[in-house]
Amino acid sequence: MIIDLLLIIGAVLPALLLMFYIYKMDKVESEPIGMLARLVLFGCLITLPAALIETVLDTVFSYVFGYNMFYLLVENFIGVALVEEGLKWLMLLTTWKSKRFDYVFDGIVYAVFISLGFALLENILYVLLQADLSTAVTTLIMRAVTSIPTHMFCGVFMGYFWGKAKEASVYGNKTAKNGYWALSIVVPTLLHGFYDFCLSTGYTVTVLAAFAFVIAMYVIVFLQVRKASKSDRPMYPFSVVPQTMPGYVTPAGIAAGAAGTAGVAGAAGAGVPPMPGAPAGYTPSPQAQFAGANYMGVAGAFQPRSQQPMPAPVGYEMRAQAADAAAAPTPQPAPAAAAAAGAPVPPAAYGWQCRCGNNNGNVNFCPVCGRPRPN
């Protein structure tokens, strides 16, 4: 009994440590513990259906193809990888309309917690079903450094593309959204299938390839997680954390409205619909793909765009709350007039520089980090 308990703790611990790592890397806005626990439960719940579907498909594939290399390809890529990653993806669908899904990194958090929930229960079953203690301990160690991290690696790729798909959807880019949706299931399936196929052949060279794959994934995925965490940004003009983003106002609103009410007047005059979750006194932005205005207004004073936390949509500038703007100085007339007339303002005039340090303002998107840039 005590040995079984120790084995269960050993089987659970690697998944919990990886969950904690991803949770701590979500530095901007942590997700609710209750929501994450629910996603882990979803991952656990699909373990048994996955095993049932895999058993049925294995019987079908072995009957149709026999036991050969083609059978191994179909079985590992479709009968195992697609089944498991597909069920995880279906669980991930439950997060799509969540109000908490407002940062790109959130997609990684959700997918990894579902994947590690799956790996957690699967690992317990693998360990407890071994014939003897020695085999159980060997299985425990090997899966702790290979199989469980591989589930996490696949979850990171699934979640990264899931977050990009949600961001593309927010800004009305259906083509990009559909493309990222496809990648969020295709990429983890291919990675998972390759790993399982290499192990299932029994050849020394392919087994070594599987271990080399895991080592490479350790490097690639952890670097990608750090990069995604550091560059995390809100998808909406208004996040759950209101101070992240002030509202947007049209150039016409600046020209027509008083200093203290330009944002509200601009939004009303342009007929811009309120966006869900927008704080009181803020002006919403349309859900459109952004390419950026050349300056933003913070407390009435225009600042270089490098200081704004997220690019503005085309033809829009950022404004502070009306109460703050009431006592602010009048915006510089030249850029305001140019924007109101629809004329582009040269980025160099404001010393514009991308947050990544690149200051080449001649393209729409920064070639270094991919952020939208001024026209």
pLDDT tens-digit series, residues 139-171: 899 999 999 999 999 999 999 999 999 988 887
Half-sphere exposure of 282 (CA within 13 A, CB side): 22
Predicted confidence at residue 357, as pLDDT, reads 56
The pLDDT of 181-195, averaged and rounded, is 97
Q: What is the pLDDT of residues 20-43, one digit of tens each?
A: 999 999 988 889 999 999 999 999
Predicted confidence at residue 298, as pLDDT, reads 28
The pLDDT of 122-135, averaged and rounded, is 86
pLDDT at 122 over 60: yes
Report yes or no: 248 and 284 within 8 Å, Cβ to Cβ: yes
pLDDT at 126 over 90: no
Report yes or no: 123 and 15 within 8 Å, Cβ to Cβ: yes
Ranking 112-121, 227-236, 334-343 by mean pLDDT, the lowest is 334-343
Predicted confidence at residue 351, as pLDDT, reads 39
How far, rounded to the nearest angstrom, does the alpha carbon of residue 265 sit from its chain's CA centroid?
35
| Short-list 315, 243, 309, CA closest to 281 | 243
pLDDT band with cut points at 50, 70 and 90 for residue 306: very low
The pLDDT of 246-250, averaged and rounded, is 39
Predicted confidence at residue 40, as pLDDT, reads 97
pLDDT at 94 over 90: yes
Predicted confidence at residue 43, as pLDDT, reads 96
Predicted confidence at residue 156, as pLDDT, reads 97
Helices (H), the chain: 2-25, 33-45, 47-65, 69-74, 83-92, 104-128, 133-145, 147-170, 174-200, 204-230, 251-256, 262-270, 322-326, 333-340
CA 210, 211, 214, 216 torsion-angle sign: negative
Q: What are phi and psi of 302, to 5 degrees?
A: -80, 135
Q: What are phi and psi of 370, to 5 degrees?
A: 85, 5
Half-sphere exposure of 183 (CA within 13 A, CB side): 16
Indicate the length of the chain as a whole number. Answer: 375
Instruction: Please tell me the distance from the alpha carbon of residue 228 to that of residue 243, in angstroms, as a whole number.
Output: 21
Ranking 208-217, 285-294, 360-369 by mean pLDDT, the lowest is 285-294
Predicted confidence at residue 3, as pLDDT, reads 82
- Give me 131's structure tokens: 């014939």
pLDDT band with cut points at 50, 70 and 90 for residue 215: very high
Instruction: Please tell me the distance from the alpha carbon of residue 109 to that of residue 13, in angstroms, as a whole number.
Output: 18
The pLDDT of 199-205, averaged and rounded, is 90
The pLDDT of 193-211, averaged and rounded, is 93
Ranking 80-94, 114-128, 274-288, 292-306 by mean pLDDT, the lowest is 292-306
- Give me 174's structure tokens: 């259906």
Percent of the chain with pLDDT over 70: 63
Predicted confidence at residue 236, as pLDDT, reads 65
Report yes or no: 129 and 57 within 8 Å, Cβ to Cβ: no
pLDDT band with cut points at 50, 70 and 90 for residue 369: low
In sequence order, what are the residues at sequence separation of 6 or more whose Cβ sits closer than 8 angstroms to the Cβ of residue 135? none
Predicted confidence at residue 129, as pLDDT, reads 82
How far, rounded to the nearest angstrom, does the alpha carbon of residue 29 sit from its chain's CA centroid?
13
Q: What is the pLDDT of residues 334-359, one digit of tens each?
A: 444 444 555 444 444 433 455 555 55
Give the pairing of strands 296-298 and 317-319.
Answer: unpaired
**292: alpha, beta or left, given left = phi > 0 and alpha = psi -120 to 50?**
left
Report yes or no: 244 and 230 within 8 Å, Cβ to Cβ: no
| Whole-structure pTM value | 0.65
Report yes or no: 92 and 154 within 8 Å, Cβ to Cβ: no
Amino acid letter, 207: V
Which of residues 68 and 292 earns the better pLDDT score? 68
Which of residues 295 and 339 earns the better pLDDT score? 339
> CA torsion angle for 150, 219, 157, 98 (degrees, to 10)?
100
Q: Is 243 helix (H, G, I), strand (E, B) or coil?
A: helix
Amino acid letter, 66: G
Q: What is the pLDDT of residues 275-285, one digit of tens each?
A: 334 344 434 33
pLDDT at 6 over 90: no
